[in-house]
Structure 1
């Protein structure tokens, strides 16, 4: 087998010299090797030695300029150091055995073959020798190179053992297939189906991490189709799986909202790498199964699915162990507003309706418009073209109103403090009523968001409510 050309970085020869001096055969293993062969960028290097990985790491650090600090992870038996822009992790070759109720293996020292066979997939079980005798030689005990050429995800051991030992590997199989545009080998996929319930012993945080990596792939729909077909999606995200299916009554059918959602997700992925905008695409129709109704005169309806969906977002984020912070609020806002721009395509739409959308969407108006355009998924290309042309008009109208009224994230110039000082009020419901009235007047275009106009409006409104201006 021909040697592999390692990147021109002194760390490799330095490890080779140090490992030789310590009489510890050493190899670059795993994802770095895979990505090197696939010509993908990678800054993380895993070095396995037949011996004490921490001892090798310390010796390499001493030989590097500046003697970088070695970070030791005793629980994992690994040590890490930085060499320029590379992060190098060292570990001794080991073999693992698992208990059925846990992903945490019992580990003991092993051979290079022991270490490679415990890897999740053959494409990650490749090594490159850092030994003087065969420096750069590829180590491929399980056909990983052949699987890279075939674009195949396959396990080194019998797949049932691999997935039962560590069920997170089922998610990783889907993730790698999605990221690399590979297929999962049939026996391997059958084993995922057979062992899918083992995913229940994996923490939701680890599942969410893999799910996010699938979502950030170029074509995330591929990963979700694999998750659904394997039965994993029904276990880790049942509300999304529930979108799948079509009902027919009196010959009337609705579209399959699962596959529609995946198309929206892919459409968003073409224009944005924002993880949370992609989550908004996933969640935008999440309440359709709960709001689906059939009416003989109008057919299938999903009235209020945007409001119900927005109310569901915090609970779903909590269940999926996603952050309950501004990212969740962003997704919630887009789910709630995703039908609003389509209502603005009518020629008769008022400036006040545009102002309200700008006011409610704030800085997220551009993301909202990306989601809304992605939501056009008809097989009728003329219909899609017509809708996109209408959205172009909406965006122009939004631009015009924004330019004249500066309503993106606007705050009324009249604050609650000014209202209380003007009328000598304490914090109360009346202060809120006056503040809301000013906001409404600005949104309706009755007054501009300028102090003199807004203050005059406040005084007039206050008088009608029986308040008088206090003397300073």
Structure 2
């Protein structure tokens, strides 16, 4: 297919791409051609160029087997890695470019296995036919730069539609993770899923259970960090996939929020997620986004019908934190991510005890200390959690939180809140009490820390006097 079929902007993108990468792809294409092998730029690399997005990662495909690829590029690449070689992929770096060169292949799942079986192919057309979506099934043969698009990916790109190259049932049966990828690409690219493909996702949703938790986590994380997560999450819920990979999300759909009776908690959650994204300063913040998504997952289990038709969700933040920790652990998220997200879920209602600003300085110090390194994210989550349509109420909440942040800033300047410690360290406590390291020192440290939070800075002498009095009351000093 000729590049003349492309729009003017797409031809410009291609020209810009080749201006940048010509030294790499031309050399590589000739290197393979001289040895009688095919190689082509493929998949997301071609798609992104046509969308006007040029990164430093290049995906290529070849009829050469992995061992041959290693031999061909050994003296050409600046560095090589083989972590994906079992799946036919060899990684390489050439200058600032990162390349993944994958042997033509097809892959499918045994119904009883969580791992795909990789079968090598012999033609570029065969390789493109087994790719997930037509927009990812376009290629540029090298070194001649022939544009190959056997499945109408360019038309789909123009229409912003996700469609499988062949029957979606066969595609999803070969690799069920592609159903999640459809939702992920809807989030990342803002594309819709064509009706036949979506119908197959719905009919085959339970097939996703054969896929490993790690692969599911990777897709969900990319979806949440995409430019349009609402669209991606909507595809998950509407297709029934969410019931298998993130059941807490559809579980929110009919749980009416007592503060926002005009919408269910599912809709409220999506709005909170969008508002949290609006508060991001340096690109996608996965911790903040996951906390926004999970902040109300404790409501279904804590829902109570009260007299007068009122609905309550007492302690849903505590229950939600436990649910969040369990779900994210099962999805194999790193421990620090699990801890941070579940902690934000636990703390997201703390501000509402502030009332009209009645908190003492001690309470403000505790708020800061409990949030720790998550304080800035807690500020954003708390603000995002206001979805009332009552403008006066929303403005009042915003002013109150402004006041809290101002108090935090003032106390931080006066006392370095982020570094609050007791006025006596462990060695000083041991010397005053005359006891060796052990549980008593830990209890004394906690006492002094609580006093520091309640009373602020009182000086070492006063702190030592208070410590002695505490020790006498608790039978440590006689």
Normalising to structure 1: TM-score of the pair?
0.90
Q: Report the equivalent of 1:330.
A: 340
CA shift for structure 1 position 426: 4.8
- Determine whether 1:49 maps to 2:62: yes
Instruction: Give secondary structure in 2 for the equivalent of 1:411.
Output: coil
Residue in 2 that maps onto 1:460:
469
1:171 lines up with 2:180 in the alignment: yes
1:436 maps to 446
Aligned position for 1:389:
399
Deviation at 1:345, TM superposition (A): 4.4
For residues 90-169 of structure 1, what are the structure 2 equivalents within 5 Å? Answer: 90-96=101-107, 99-102=110-113, 103-131=115-143, 135-169=144-178
- Offset at residue 219 of structure 1 (A): 2.8
Q: Which residue is equivalent to 1:40?
A: 53
Alignment check: 8 A CA contact 1:100 1:165 kept: no
Distance 1:285 1:69 in 2: 46
Alpha carbons of 1:230 and 1:423: their partners in 2 closer, same or farther (altered >3 Å)? same
Question: Deviation of residue 401 (structure 1)?
Answer: 1.8
Mapped contact 1:128–1:137 kept (Cα < 8 A):
yes
What is the CA–CA distance in structure 1 between the aligned matches of 2:295 and 2:376, rounded to whole Å? 16
- Tell me whether 1:312 sits opposite 2:323 in the alignment: yes
Secondary structure, aligned partner of 2:252: coil
2:287 touches 2:341 (CA, 8 Å); kept in 1? yes
Task: Within 5 Å, give how 1:245-260 maps onto structure 2.
Answer: 245-246=254-255, 255-260=263-268
Residue 409 of structure 2, aligned match among 399, 405, 422: 399
Contact 2:111 2:210 in 1 (8 A): no
Partner residue of 1:214 out of 218, 223, 235: 223
The answer (yes or no) to whether the contact 1:358–1:402 under 8 Å persists in 2 is: no
CA distance in 2, matches of 1:434, 1:25: 72
Q: Which residue of 1 aligns with 2:376?
A: 366
Q: Following the alignment from structure 1 to structure 2, what is the Cα–Cα distance between the partners of residues 173 and 248?
A: 30
Q: Deviations over 1:131-182 (max 9, x none)?
A: 4xxx222110000000000001110010011011100000111101110010
Q: What is the CA deviation profile of residues 288-316 of structure 1, one whole-angstrom value per residue up to 9, with x for unaligned ones?
A: 11111111147111111112222333322
- 4+ residue runs of structure 1 moved beyond 6 angstroms? none
Is residue 199 from structure 1 mapped to residue 177 from structure 2 by the alignment?
Answer: no
Alignment partners' CA distance in 2, 1:45 and 1:357: 47
Q: Distance in 2 between matches of 1:309 and 1:421?
A: 44
Deviation at 1:41, TM superposition (A): 3.0
Structure 1 position 238, deviation (Å): 1.4
Please report how far the alpha carbon of residue 328 of structure 1 lies from its aligned counterpart in structure 2 after TM superposition: 2.0
SS at match of 1:371: helix
1:57-88 Cα distance to aligned partner (Å, 9 max, x none)? 53344356x6x446485422333321112122
Contact preservation (8 Å) 1:127, 1:139: yes
- 1:94 & 1:364 partners in 2: Cα distance? 45
Quick one: structure 1 residues 11 and 462, their matched pair in 2 at CA, closer, same or farther if it must change by over 3 Å?
same
CA displacement, residues 4-51 of structure 1 (integer Å, 9 cap, x when unaligned): 434322011112222332222321111111111111133222222344
The separation in 2 between residues aligned to 1:276 and 1:106, in whole angstroms, is: 34
User: What corresponds to 1:19 in structure 2?
Assistant: 32
Match of 1:62 in 2: 75
Q: Secondary structure of the residue that 1:62 maps to in structure 2?
A: coil
Tell whether the 8 Å contact from 1:94 to 1:115 is kept in structure 2 after alignment: yes
Distance, in Å, in 2 between the alignment partners of 1:424 and 1:188 is 74
Unaligned runs of 5+ in 1: none
Q: Is residue 126–residue 140 contact of structure 1 (8 Å, CA) maintained in 2?
A: yes
Aligned to 2:270: 262
Q: Quick one: distance in 2 between partners of 1:442 and 1:51?
A: 68
Q: TM-score, normalised by structure 2?
A: 0.89
* Cα distance between partner residues in 1 of 2:136 and 2:436: 67
CA distance in 1, matches of 2:356, 2:83: 63
**CA distance 1:449–1:15, change in 2 (3 Å):** farther
Quote the Cα distance in structure 2 between the aligned partners of 1:441 and 1:235: 48
Picking from 296, 316, 337, the partner of 1:285 is 296
Contact 1:45-1:88 within 8 A present in 2 as well: yes
User: Is there any run of 5+ residues in structure 2 with no aligned partner, and where?
Assistant: 5-13
Distance 1:364 1:72 in 2: 34
Offset, 1:467: 5.0
| Contact 1:257 1:285 (8 Å CA) reproduced | yes
Aligned-pair distance for 1:400? 1.4
